[in-house]
Structure 1
């Protein structure tokens, strides 16, 4: 199972927004206030979740049992949904979509007050929590992610050392040279695209902000050209193109397999993959099963520096919200607060805590030691970016254009990289103008 990150969420945004109309009504703008006395909070609440694995193996029940130590009069029931985006979108045409749910990517930000109860003001919550911008409408916050992730390259340390590479590359050119050394000195595939499963290609959009080291990177997407010379996405897409063009990938990208890639990188058959910090635990688990050392799985930032320092963006997973129609808002709010702050969910998954005061997880200790700057992106213009992306049909959070990019680089289609990226830029900027951006 793969973790859902912001970029994965955005894939759901490609679903037809018209499918979610909701009922809104007098509940619009309701607040789910934090309860003062846990002993007085009562009710049975249903939590909708995409983590079907944790529902099936009993992990969510264990969380609920711990929650009941503080809130003994609240019963928590879980509804694990495999096709989360598709099914919840349909449920949200009624008022019955649980008491707590992960906000589907299909819901436009401006509509959050129609569907969800406010958790409080951004001014207040942003002092304590990460990711508040992503669910803020008119100064109020409507959701909270219980964990976050940071993008980077997962790599097999042993393979990289065998190739004679000891330090993280600091430029795309150095990164390419390192992959060439791996090809020359080892039997490993230098870089694995996960082309066939498609969704891993969308992870490359998470480079945005890392090259420029700019917390306003999302605003620049809304107002500028993402593929201008030196822009983050142009740098990212150029590197992906060059990796493929230099034949530093698997023999046939159309035959890749995501699940099979986990033991392969653990065994050293694959050297490198661009994913996120959430994937480290999965690769290390695969290493244990394969009988190799989990510590061989390393994690490095994108090869670019600003003023001699690497940067990486912090991105939320699904945001939990309270159904605006819930009859047990106090209990639902209690669950969200407890799950975010007290459950240990982020630590259990070795992911980034939403609490700004918490230390980085162990998997990001190398980032901390290397002084990598973790950026909290301003998502004020996030809805605008989504509108431009949908209207332009570029699909920065869909796999299609990067599959086209890989095909171009490997010679399956004809054309130049500049023409390809300039074509994306024109569609994007033309749409900006049409929307008045």
Structure 2
């Protein structure tokens, strides 16, 4: 992923437009609400030129996406696929969605509320139908219909340099946050590496911490439980997750100045052993191993470990979708757009190329997760029955579980750039959430 901060040019206008979108103003994007993108009956008859918006700017630039399009045309010879790689994907696309001009196929931005999917995206079919074949359909289902399909699944974890951790004297995965902090302190004391890298400046990596939810207590209902429980209560999953991030920064186990981090630059730095650890997802392993090859270091030094928590002596990891592809409800070529999504999900090899979980049910785990298999890590998928209500509460509370802002504030608090203490900070989040939960959906 290569998302970056919102550009400052025209910031006032852009942020105002974003506020309208997130608060429910759909611009002209709701004109075809309820439309379907039907599967192609005869590939030879599907035609049109479609634009695919993507966050994979690296693969647009190096020609990889064009190779996928060339393969696609062998099945759909009358369809031309064009790609638009967007660096600040979240920032730019959510603004464009106030118009009809947001491509024919796009990755669904995290800022779009789930209940609003029918306003912006065409249905891909019923969950009952798609759920028989594909994983993760519940994440994009509204009213029994599916509005997006992720081409890959991911598991959250720490990308780490095995050699750095070994040089620090650690060969076993930490099983508690306290053990993990001890490991980072050993890296700081015994190596020249930055123990943990926040990627603070690029913002989006901070949103990845929410993906740890469910791993702490191995709880399938972790997301649904946010409706009825204080997310930051003592012993809660989010409190455990956010406290670990806070403690790493407070104890100076991260880069000296988080405001100067660089996502692309962090890849070769970790590969070379100048960075020890980052919290990301299994999707990132292939990118970091590629960086190792380019840097002339051993790709096998790139490791992946779960969140430091166990239930009954066993680690847990949440399998979840990456960005889901969707058809613009305003597209003039919905059949061609749907054809692209179907082919890209089932036939392109994109999941294998990214060493990622396949969205196809029953597919084998990728080799990158072999260590998880060997150590009997349990995979779970969070129930999504109340996901839309959780999003509504989150928006009403103005916290942003899927946005970077509150964790940037948390990092600033921990490094002394913001006044206050952790209990007060998390207490404020709790108060805002519980107040919003009392009034939302009632």
So what's the TM-score if we normalise by structure 2? 0.89
**Equivalent pair of 1:22/1:115 in contact (CA under 8 Å):** no
CA deviation string 1:260-319 (max 9, x = no partner): 322221121221111122222222222222221111110100000112211112232222
Are 1:112 and 2:117 matched, yes or no? yes
Unaligned runs of 5+ in 1: 5-10
**Alpha-carbon shift at residue 426 of structure 1 (Å):** 0.9
The alignment yields a C-alpha RMSD, in angstroms, of: 2.5
Q: Please, which moves more after superposition, 145-154 or 68-77? A: 68-77
- Aligned residue number for residue 22 of structure 1: 28
Distance in 1 of aligned mates of 2:81 and 2:408: 42
CA deviation string 1:190-209 (max 9, x = no partner): 22222333332222111111
Distance in 1 of aligned mates of 2:294 and 2:391: 40
Are 1:101 and 2:109 matched, yes or no? no
**Alpha-carbon shift at residue 181 of structure 1 (Å):** 2.1
Matched residue SS, 2:343: helix
Are 1:167 and 2:172 matched, yes or no? yes
Describe how 1:127-146 pairs up with structure 2 within 5 A.
127-146=132-151
Matched residue SS, 2:196: coil
Describe how 1:197-208 pairs up with structure 2 within 5 A.
197-208=202-213
Distance in 1 of aligned mates of 2:205 and 2:48: 40
Return closer, same or farther for 1:235/1:285 CA change in 2, 3 Å cut-off. same
Return closer, same or farther for 1:402/1:46 CA change in 2, 3 Å cut-off. closer
Are 1:345 and 2:380 matched, yes or no? no
**Alpha-carbon shift at residue 171 of structure 1 (Å):** 0.9
- Aligned residue number for residue 7 of structure 1: none
1:291 alignment partner, one of 296, 306, 310 = 296
- Aligned residue number for residue 8 of structure 1: none
Distance in 1 of aligned mates of 2:425 and 2:95: 37
Matched residue SS, 1:194: coil
Distance in 1 of aligned mates of 2:312 and 2:396: 36
**Equivalent pair of 2:3/2:204 in contact (CA under 8 Å):** no
**Alpha-carbon shift at residue 234 of structure 1 (Å):** 0.5
Matched residue SS, 1:396: coil
- Aligned residue number for residue 193 of structure 2: 188
**Equivalent pair of 1:3/1:279 in contact (CA under 8 Å):** no
- Aligned residue number for residue 389 of structure 1: 394
**Equivalent pair of 1:120/1:140 in contact (CA under 8 Å):** yes
Q: Please, which moves more after superposition, 129-138 or 309-318? A: 309-318
Distance in 1 of aligned mates of 2:416 and 2:50: 54
- Aligned residue number for residue 283 of structure 2: 278
CA deviation string 1:62-101 (max 9, x = no partner): 1122112222233333333445445544554554543322
CA deviation string 1:307-365 (max 9, x = no partner): 22111122322221223343433322221111000001121122222112222222212
Matched residue SS, 1:35: coil
Matched residue SS, 2:223: helix
Matched residue SS, 1:271: strand
Distance in 1 of aligned mates of 2:439 and 2:103: 38
**Equivalent pair of 2:18/2:94 in contact (CA under 8 Å):** no
- Say how many residue pairs are matched: 429
Are 1:42 and 2:35 matched, yes or no? no
Are 1:256 and 2:265 matched, yes or no? no
- Aligned residue number for residue 380 of structure 2: 375
- Aligned residue number for residue 2 of structure 2: 2
Describe how 1:71-86 pairs up with structure 2 within 5 A.
71-86=76-91
Matched residue SS, 1:75: strand
Distance in 2 of aligned mates of 1:210 and 1:223: 19
**Equivalent pair of 1:2/1:279 in contact (CA under 8 Å):** no
Q: Please, which moves more after superposition, 16-25 or 259-268? A: 16-25
Distance in 1 of aligned mates of 2:329 and 2:262: 41
**Equivalent pair of 1:20/1:89 in contact (CA under 8 Å):** no
Distance in 1 of aligned mates of 2:158 and 2:143: 37
**Alpha-carbon shift at residue 424 of structure 1 (Å):** 1.2
Unaligned runs of 5+ in 2: 5-14
Return closer, same or farther for 1:172/1:90 CA change in 2, 3 Å cut-off. closer
Distance in 1 of aligned mates of 2:422 and 2:230: 16
- Aligned residue number for residue 362 of structure 1: 367
Are 1:330 and 2:330 matched, yes or no? no
**Equivalent pair of 2:158/2:306 in contact (CA under 8 Å):** yes
Matched residue SS, 2:288: helix
Distance in 1 of aligned mates of 2:161 and 2:240: 24
CA deviation string 1:112-131 (max 9, x = no partner): 22332221111221222122
Distance in 2 of aligned mates of 1:410 and 1:86: 26
